């Protein structure tokens, strides 16, 4: 048995090694071809798709497809005949992977429930306030809130700073999100640590691929916008989703 088993085992190891080597060589060739044709694209990981000759390119938080035979970059989604978007599924996987890069101690912690929510918000965004009002009523969540005040809301920056300057940040957050300080010139501290934290929140949003508010990771699943039915589904089905 040993005389039979050892060559087979060696063959499997060699085959696996050669396959890995070929994949590495293939990726290197694809990366070179993309860079040559599209020098402005900042390509992260490259993966072969289920479609022969078509490769998936990770561009920041988004996905593009490359067809090297014609040197074409394709923007769109790949769907199965069952109506499932493989592109959306991959984006979800990539977003979940980026979740581990978000330091929870940099966010405002609200609640202590079993459902973990990471939230990027603009304190003056009406959709952010809608989602916040819904979450505020629940006692089964632990929220970590990060600010991404958008330029179209002129008071959002000061409201975010007001919250971060407060000794009771969770309370200040609730006040702002319920409109208590709308139209007021709220007092903000001049603490450089707050300025640094605001900057860090923006950088974390960019790194996580967040471009709009509100954006959530709910038990590791991404929700963009105040989609209350989806948020509620993820919270109710925590055990089945994890």
In degrees, to the nearest 5, what angle opens at C-alpha 146 toward C-alphas 140 and 150?
125
User: Is the pLDDT confidence value at 93 over 90?
Assistant: no
Q: Residue 232: what are its φ and ψ, rounded to 5°? A: -65, -40
Same domain as 179, residue 133:
yes
Do residues 106 and 64 share a domain? no
* In contact, 134 and 228? CB cutoff 8 Å: yes
Q: Cα separation of 32 and 71, whole Å?
A: 11
Residue 16 has pLDDT above 90, yes or no: no
Is 8's pLDDT higher than 90? no
Residue 239's pLDDT band, with cuts at 50, 70 and 90, is low
5, 14, 26 from 19: Cα distances, Å: 21, 8, 10
89 within a domain of the structure (yes/no): no
Decide which of 149 and 7 is more confident: 149
Q: Are 175 and 186 in contact (CB under 8 A)?
A: no
Predicted TM-score (pTM) of this structure:
0.70
The CATH number of whichever domain residue 13 belongs to comes to: 3.10.450
Residue 214 in any domain: the answer is: yes
- Which domain-ending residue is among 76, 107, 139? 76
Mean pLDDT, the chain, rounded, equals 85
User: Which structural domain, as residue segments, surrounds residue 44?
Assistant: 2-76
Query: Of residues 48 and 145, which shows the higher confidence score?
Result: 145
Shared domain for 138 and 229, answered yes or no, is yes
Domain count, the chain: 2
Q: Are residues 113 and 207 in the same domain?
A: yes
CATH of the domain at 196: 3.40.30.10
**Residue whose entry in the numeric block shows the structure tokens 């974390």:** 204
Q: Looking at per-residue confidence, does 2 or 113 come out higher?
A: 113
Section 165-182 average pLDDT: 96
Together in a domain, 157 and 53: no
What's the whole-number mean pLDDT along residues 87-114? Answer: 85
| 113 and 220 fall within a common domain | yes
Task: Answer whether residue 43 is part of any domain.
Answer: yes
Predicted local distance difference test score (pLDDT) of residue 15: 36
Question: CA–CA separation, 56 vs 49, rounded Å?
Answer: 6
Looking at the fold, whether 55 and 141 belong to one and the same domain comes out as no
Q: For residue 215, is it within any domain? A: yes
75 CB contacts (<8 Å, ≥6 apart)?
Answer: 64, 65
Are residues 113 and 63 part of one domain?
no
Q: What would the two tokens of residue 216 be?
A: 């959530």
146 forms bridges with which residues in the sheet? 120
Contact 217, 117 (CB under 8 A): yes
Task: Say if residue 161's pLDDT is above 90.
Answer: yes
Quote the pLDDT of residue 32: 87
Confidence check: pLDDT of 197 > 90 = yes
* In a shared domain, residues 141 and 218: yes
């Amino acid at each position: 048995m040993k005389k039979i088993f050892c060559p087979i085992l060696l063959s499997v190891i060699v085959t696996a090694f050669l396959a890995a080597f070929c994949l590495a060589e293939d990726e290197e060739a694809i990366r070179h071809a993309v860079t040559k044709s599209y020098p402005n694209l900042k390509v992260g990981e490259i993966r072969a798709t289920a479609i022969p000759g078509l490769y998936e390119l990770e561009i920041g938080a988004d996905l593009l497809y490359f067809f090297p035979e014609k040197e074409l970059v394709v923007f769109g989604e790949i769907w199965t005949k069952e109506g499932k978007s493989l592109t959306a599924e991959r984006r979800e996987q990539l977003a979940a992977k980026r979740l581990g890069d978000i330091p929870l101690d940099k966010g405002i912690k609200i609640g202590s429930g079993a459902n973990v929510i990471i939230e990027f918000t603009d304190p003056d965004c009406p959709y952010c306030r809608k989602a916040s009002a819904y979450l505020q009523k629940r006692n089964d969540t632990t929220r970590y809130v990060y600010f991404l005040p958008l330029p179209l809301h002129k008071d959002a920056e000061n409201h975010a700073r007001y919250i971060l300057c407060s000794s009771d940040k969770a309370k200040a957050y609730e006040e702002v999100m319920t409109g208590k300080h709308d139209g007021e010139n709220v007092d903000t501290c001049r603490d450089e640590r707050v300025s640094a934290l605001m900057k860090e929140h923006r950088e974390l949003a960019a790194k996580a691929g967040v471009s709009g508010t509100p954006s959530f990771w709910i038990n590791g699943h991404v929700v963009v916008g105040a989609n209350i039915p989806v948020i509620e589904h993820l919270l109710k089905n925590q055990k089945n989703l994890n």
